[in-house]
Amino acid sequence: MKIIGVILNTFRESIRDKVFITIIIFAILVMVSGKVIQPLALGEEAKVVKDIGLNSIALFSTLIAILVGGRLVYKEIEKRTLYLIITRPIHRWQFIVGKYFGLLLVLFESILIMTCAFYLILILLNISASLNLLLSVLLTFFQLWVITAIAILFSTFSTPITGAVFTFALYFIGHLTRDLKTFGAMSKSGLVKTLSDIMYYVLPNLANFNIKGEVVHNVTIAPQIIVLTIAYAIVYSAIIVFASCIIFQRKDF
C-alpha cells in the first residue's frame, strides 16, 4: 500500500522532530507541577491535578498538531523533497491523506505517552484514576482530527507561521462558535443573524469536544453525545482534507 509508505514516513519524520520531543517533555513537566500547587488547592487536590493533566494533554497535543502539521506539506514543497515522491505512481491526494494520517499517528502516540504519564502521576499521588477520564482524552484526540486537517489545509498554500496563526485563531474561535450563534440570535439585524449562522456552520465547533469539567466532576455524559461529536470530527475533517487535496492537485511545482 503506497499510502502506508507516506503515513509511516510522516510518522518517522515527526517523531524525529525536536519540536515533538520538546513539547512532550514540557507537557509531562506541567502535569508533575500539579503536585507543587497542591497546597493551593484547598482540599480539591484530586480535581486540580486531573484538570491540569487533561488540559495539558489537550493543549500540548494541539501545539504538536499546529506546529508540526503546519510545516508538514510546506516543508516538502520548500525543500523540494516532494519532487521525488509525487513523480512516483502515487496520486497527489494519496500524498495529502498519507501526511494527514501520519500526523494523526504521531498525535495518537503523543497522547498515549502523555496519558500514561498522567495516570502514573495520579497513581503516585494516590488519586483515584477512573477510566472515565479517558473519555475526555478520546474527544481531545478527535478534536485533533479537526485541528490537524485545518493545519494541513493551510500548509498546502501558506507559510508555516501564517498557517500556525490562522490555525490557532480557528482553534480559539472554534471554542466560541456557540456564543457566536447566541450573539447572532440576540441581534436585531438580519444580516448579522445570517452571518453568525454561516460562521457557526462553517467554522469548527470545538466546544463539544471539551468534556474535561464533566469527567473531573464525575458528571455522566450521554453516549450519543460522544458518538455525535466523533462523527462531527470525522465529517468535518474529511471535508477539510478533501479541500486540501483539491488545492494540492491544482498546484504547479
15 versus 203: smaller Cβ distance to another protein = 15
Closest approach of another protein to the CB of residue 5, in Å: 4
Decide: is 18 part of the binding site for another protein (CB under 8 A): no
Closest approach of another protein to the CB of residue 202, in Å: 25
Q: Which stretch binds another protein (CB under 8 A): 7-15, 41-49, 155-163, 186-194?
A: 7-15
Q: Looking at the chain, list the stretches that DSSP marks H as alpha helix, in order from N- to C-terminal side.
A: 2-15, 18-36, 45-78, 83-86, 92-124, 133-155, 160-174, 177-186, 190-202, 212-216, 223-250
Closest approach of another protein to the CB of residue 78, in Å: 9
87 versus 126: smaller Cβ distance to another protein = 87
2 versus 175: smaller Cβ distance to another protein = 2
Interface pick for another protein out of 30, 35, 55, 86 (rule CB under 8 A): 86
3-class secondary structure, 87: coil
Contact of 66 with 167, CB cutoff 8 Å: yes
Nearest by Cα to 56 from 27, 32, 26: 27
Nearest by Cα to 14 from 73, 94, 57: 73
Interface pick for another protein out of 19, 44, 81, 218 (rule CB under 8 A): 81
Cell triple for residue 82? Answer: 516532494
Interface pick for another protein out of 26, 29, 37, 83 (rule CB under 8 A): 83
Residues in the chain: 253
Decide: is 188 part of the binding site for another protein (CB under 8 A): no
Q: Which stretch binds another protein (CB under 8 A): 8-16, 202-210, 226-234, 235-243?
A: 8-16
Decide: is 26 part of the binding site for another protein (CB under 8 A): no
Nearest by Cα to 155 from 243, 61, 90: 243
Q: Which stretch binds another protein (CB under 8 A): 83-91, 156-164, 201-209, 233-241?
A: 83-91
Cβ contacts of residue 142 below 8 Å, gap of 6+? 209, 229, 230, 233, 234
Query: Which conformational region is residue 130 in: left (phi greater than 0), alpha (psi within -120 to 50 degrees), or beta?
Result: beta
Closest approach of another protein to the CB of residue 249, in Å: 10
Binding site for another protein (CB under 8 A): 2, 4-6, 9, 12-13, 16, 79-81, 83-91, 252-253
